[in-house]
A = this chain, B = another copy of it.
Amino acid sequence: MAVSIEILQTSSQTKARLGKLHTPHGVIDTPVFMPVGTQATVKAMTPEELQAMGAGIILSNTYHLFLRPGHELIAASGGLHKFMHWDRAILTDSGGFQVFSLGDMRKITEAGVSFRSHLDGSSLFLGPEEAMQIQMALGSDIAMAFDECTPYPSTYEYTKNSMERTTRWAERCLKAHHRDAQAVFGIVQGGMYRDLREESAKALTALDFPGYAIGGLSVGEEKHLMYEVLDYTVPLLPSAKPRYLMGVGSPDCLIEGVIRGIDMFDCVLPTRIARNGTVMTSQGKLVIRNAEHFNAQGPLDPECDCYTCRNYSRAYIRHLFKAEEILGLRLTTTHNLHFLLNLMAKIRLAIKQDSLLEFRAEFFAKYGYR
């Protein structure tokens, strides 16, 4: 099997688990946060910088790479790893999330989704077979099944029909997939409806994927709803296989997700807010453009030992943002990724020491629950 998880320890307090994710491009400690490299680059970072921060796996987007530069070019370049100079693991999404987000510019049928490119308006099609072909060409370590991420809120009927189609698409993905050094993960859908989640999980586990994602969360619902869905959905997934909560990356959701048994996360949040000048610190979020930092000689976070915090003052970083200098984006992106990767390392240590609930209480006492 191309990808598997080895569970080293489980929490006695929660459903959290400490593990090692084995992939064709290395072994990754779990629970893990995967930085997002949408267009074959984690924005503003080099691969070496990500590695120095301890990133062992990143996510890249099938939709974007399909449109530009095209998966054929990437295959001709020796695959995505070689193309982007990243020799650790890569997970690619299926493109489903992006094409469904196109609204009026897409049409869903049983075959798949017809849509117009957001770049040049050209007519394109993506279905389960195409999603597999593209991801096989990219050569990621983990490919995701082609699914519909139902919006929130959605009616029971819409969610049920969509989930059943996602299940049929999952079968077609497995049939179309033939690349040994790549695993395909199934994606449980079913919105906020418990019986639909149960039905989805049952049908997908019967297909025996090497890993499972929970999709359709972090789509605008209140957080307690997300946690409720995780509470009843995670136990339906095989404990011997990796579990991935898609699109989640705020500190509270990472901790609560781990507590509910999730092994893998991804989110554009830390890199996106960084480019907007917002950083996560041990004392909560900080907006570097604010006037209060004009003459602030201290680092972004006094408890942080990242490259940015070791070498630069808030006053300087604020200046870089006011002056629209590229180094500003680099420094905040470095800090935010370090912050989340370091948070995951602390979470793993807390699982090991069986003190995850204490860790959560301590963390949120300083950070605030958000």
A152 within 8 A of B: no
Q: Which chain B residue has the least Cβ–Cβ distance from A64?
A: B323
Task: Tell me if B85 and A40 are in contact (CB < 8 A).
Answer: no
Contact string against B for A residues 320-335, beta-carbon threshold 8 Å, 1 for contact and 0 otherwise:
1011011101100000
Task: Tell me if B77 and A316 are in contact (CB < 8 A).
Answer: yes
Q: Which chain B residue has the least Cβ–Cβ distance from A328?
A: B41
Q: Which chain B residue has the least Cβ–Cβ distance from A39?
A: B323
Task: Tell me if A322 and B73 are in contact (CB < 8 A).
Answer: no
Q: How far is the CA of A318 from the CA of B68 in the complex (A)?
A: 11
- Number of residues in A with C-beta < 8 Å to the partner? 34
Q: How far is the CA of A50 from the CA of B311 in the complex (A)?
A: 15
Q: How far is the CA of A64 from the CA of B325 in the complex (A)?
A: 13
Task: Tell me if A41 and B313 are in contact (CB < 8 A).
Answer: no
Which residue of the partner chain, among B41, B295, B311, contacts A85 with CB atoms under 8 Å?
B311
Q: How far is the CA of A41 from the CA of B294 in the complex (A)?
A: 17
A26 within 8 A of B: no
For A315, list chain B residues within 8 Å (CB).
69, 73, 77, 83
**Closest Cβ of chain B: how far from A15's Cβ, in Å?**
38
Q: How far is the CA of A132 from the CA of B77 in the complex (A)?
A: 54
A46 within 8 A of B: yes
For A319, list chain B residues within 8 Å (CB).
39-40, 68-69, 73
Specify how many copies of this chain sit in the oligomer: 2
**Closest Cβ of chain B: how far from A357's Cβ, in Å?**
39
**Closest Cβ of chain B: how far from A41's Cβ, in Å?**
5
**Closest Cβ of chain B: how far from A69's Cβ, in Å?**
4
Task: Tell me if A45 and B295 are in contact (CB < 8 A).
Answer: no
CB-CB under 8 A for A325 and B77, given A83-B313, A85-B311, A316-B83: no
A residues at B contact (CB < 8 Å): 39-41, 43-46, 64, 68-69, 73, 76-77, 83-85, 294-295, 297, 311-313, 315-316, 318-320, 322-323, 325-327, 329-330
What 18 new A-B contacts, CB under 8 Å, besides A76-B295, A77-B313, A326-B330?
A39-B319, A40-B319, A41-B320, A44-B330, A45-B327, A46-B330, A68-B322, A68-B323, A69-B294, A73-B294, A73-B295, A77-B295, A77-B316, A83-B313, A83-B316, A85-B311, A326-B326, A330-B330
